[in-house]
Chains A and B, each alone.
Chain A
Amino acid sequence: MFAWSLAIRNLRRRRLRTALTASGIVVGISMMFILLSLVSGMEAQTRSMIRALGGADITVSNSTSFRGGMGGGGPFGALPSPSTLDASIAEVISGIPGVYAVSPQFSFSGSISGRRITIYGIEPASYEIVTGGLNIVEGRFLAENSNGEIIVGNALMEFLNLTLGQTVSLSAGQGGKERTFNIIGVFETGMVFQEYAAYITLADAQDITGEYGVVTQILVKCEDPSIVSDVASLILSTVPGVRVTTPTAVIQQASQTLNTLTMFFATIGLVALFAGSFGVVNTMIMSVTERTREIGVLKAIGAKNHQIMKVFLAESLLIGLIGGGVGVAAGGILAYLFPMLTSGLFSVGASPFGMRNAGLSGRAISNIRLATPAITPTNIAICFSLGALVGILAGLYPAWRASRMKPVEALRHV
């Protein structure tokens, strides 16, 4: 339709005005984009921290403490083997309202190549549902039939000089067997202490320790993160002799803060955008007034009201699209530069467990940095369409005014 060519020509004829008007939107959109990217980045960080902390909403374990003595020495000594629960408790817990899924786990202190570490026996499928799975960096995750297969932490791999596909001997210490396992995958958490561990199937774990029908933890995922504490107390009152931990409580606090931040940032962005939209309204009213005679001519030669409206809506939509496009691009560049500008400001300080530092391996500490913006397609789409939306909304009134002009009066306009 000619509406588009008219709109494009007109914007081109007034390049400076178009640029200035669009820049009002650019400011709002780029701001919005940076803020959304920051929030997305924080969300991603939070997610990976949740994963690093074990992922489950609730961990149910025996209320009596560890059995047996402390595990082997060394800087990264394994945890002592915890007391067990009857495996059937998992069934009971899965029947509790609010529980989405449960995954039994048998962790024990075992040794690989003489090195004592924590071994987790898991049910791969339910483990992935409940915790989101492990961050596999090489190879693959366990499957239901992964008998004799093992996933080893990256730090341990490096420490013991192991390679993927290698066979290692795993023993469960006193009372247990010794069996060989094939390394089929390597996981990474970004936290060294968590990587001195290995995962095998629950069946293998029970077999190697000789403790059939029992588990050490039951990992629980709730239907909604907001009901975690309610479900936890429900578990406590329903199942005797257990203790619950909600390792993600802190993270949930963080994600609530994140939501508040999102709202806050979005509001700032919207206010900026709102201000920018007045520029568009102003420009469009100017454009309509300037072209009153043109509107009269178009009407005289037979343009209908909606066709006139289309001409001006096309124009303001184009301004919005330009503003949205440039805004996303500018915001993207700024979001990309952001970590360099704020380097160190938001990074997590030293932790008692010692974050992996750049010297230890190639992976930088930025792994755990909080404010690394994430540029996601969703954010691009949101910001771009927001620009278009502002363009259309800002153009509605001027376009309507143009369409309502009386042809005779419009033609008289000088």
Chain B
Amino acid sequence: MDPLEIDEPGRRVLLMGNEAIARGAIEAGVRYCAAYPGSPSSEILASLARTAPRFGHYAEWSTNEKVALEGACGAAYTGLRAMATMKQNGVNVASDILTAMSLAGNPGGLVLVVCDDPGGISSTNEVDTRNYARLADVPLLEPATFQEAKDMVRWAFSLSEELELICMVRSVTRISHARGVVELGPIEKVARTAVMKPEQRYGSLPPCPNHAEVKDKLRRAAEIYESSPFNRYAGPERPELLVVTCGTGWWYSTEAIRMLGVAERVGVLKLGTTWPLPEALLKRHLEGASSVLVIEESDPVLEYNLKALLSKEALRAAAPSRLLGKVTGTVRGAYGPGVGEMNPNLAADAVARALEIEAPSLPKPLRESMQAEIDFEIPKREVAFCPGCPHRASYWVMKNVLRLDGRDGLLIGDIGCYTLGFGRTGYYLSRTMHCMGSAIGFSSGMAKLAGFGFSQPTIAVVGDSTFFHACLPGLVNARYNRSPFLCVVLDNSATAMTGFQPHPGTGKTALGEEAPRLSIESLCAGMGIPVQIVDPFDVPAATRLLYRALQKNELQVVVMRHKCAVLQGREEGLPARRVWVDAEKCIGEQCGCNRFCSAAFGCPALIWDKEKECAAIDEVICSRCGLCAELCPGGAIRITEEEVQP
């Protein structure tokens, strides 16, 4: 049985952090859930969509995060409990409505869950979205465990209703994408009819009185926080060092204390409610603590807020003589304080430094003893397009076209699977990679520079999901302002990077229902932009088409359409055929001077048989797409239609 559907309070189940967040919403009786996929947040909405039939809530993949939050907001205006979830980049997209709607409030419980990605493990930045809580004047909760992830989300709904203000819950990769034991709670049965009454009006004009009102709400939030069970202290009554921490910082802090064996000397004050800060609670714990060390993920947000609080007249007496953290350089990071992910070792290092322990006796990793014996380079495993990925074919084509064109043409890319165009398997072709849809904006600007001597043709590359998410205004702009560039939409029929979520072009909703399939080509045609479609696996046709398009000095769209290989495999299994290398025909090192297929093409399944001195295919990895057979100049890679063991 799906653990999220178990209605058995007290039952302990193993949940992913994102599932725990979803369960919290379910237990709170959430009715409306919306999200745009993005690691490490995607599994929240996926879990809610999966369980929607059981609990009757609504869940959707919205076209972008702003729309998701606006949808949830709309639901909250009608009195329902609603939630929007997104990754850190998504809050930037949603920030316009977030900073506006908080001023006017909402009657139904409204929760924004943001999953940050410290260290940028699966992101292009490591933005700390807690800063938005202050920016938008909204209460912030930070779970430190899987249990809290569930419980806090549940509580966030009632807090939001009590304050009539959206609440933000900030998770991080190590909670969202980790798993642990969670004790389930009861599922609230909330029977509410959605209605917006005549007297209900929500507008942020005039802003100033509204702003004052939301400040009042925050003061009330701080009062409520004073007695929150999510804030707790553990340790000696009068610790030599008080660690103030939140989120995963708590985990690393307690681990650090264990590692250093300093449990008698160090106390830990864990805060779950980090904006606004509960003053009285902090005053109580800080009074008498001479050394305070703040350990938290990402930016020193808690640290700054604490410093600001301690500058208040009423709290000045509680200010410790030493307040240590990232600002003081006590808490370090892989790339400097506040840069990169926290971990137990960094926390132990900080605690040791705060306690002035000279050389903490921590276990030495094997690296130190092994290093001397390693007389070879360990090859780095670069991120790469998956075997069979249509984007590899598309990038192969675009690389060839740009080279054949010979005018130093540029590939302007952005965010999606095709971000990997920045790396080796995308032939390092992408020249930009920032945020969704920005390839269009960049190209739109660059293509207007002919008058300043700019003569390089431009290909703007976006994905299918990105197209719907953030490309339409940019294309409208380019069309309106007559900016001549080639926009290539890499359509792999999924939001593949984040786990194959459907989008408006796929004909399916998050709930698995049939949906109108929005056509990229019709949308472009509707704007009067010439559009062509080609299958990137037809390399010669795609190359010709793109080359020809690049010769024209006008705005055009080419959709390179081929389904994601992983998705294809999931839906239909591997094709019943074998792709193999005919060792007799393969001329190996002699081919095009040196193994053209593996050296130039870059498929992870196309390996090298040292003994036979010829190419080979790793059957475990190969997706049987067969593109290599087309590229092999000697016809040595063969496809045999036959049933093969999966």
Are A and B co-members of a single complex? no
Query: Which residues of A are interface residues toward B (Cβ below 8 A)?
Result: none
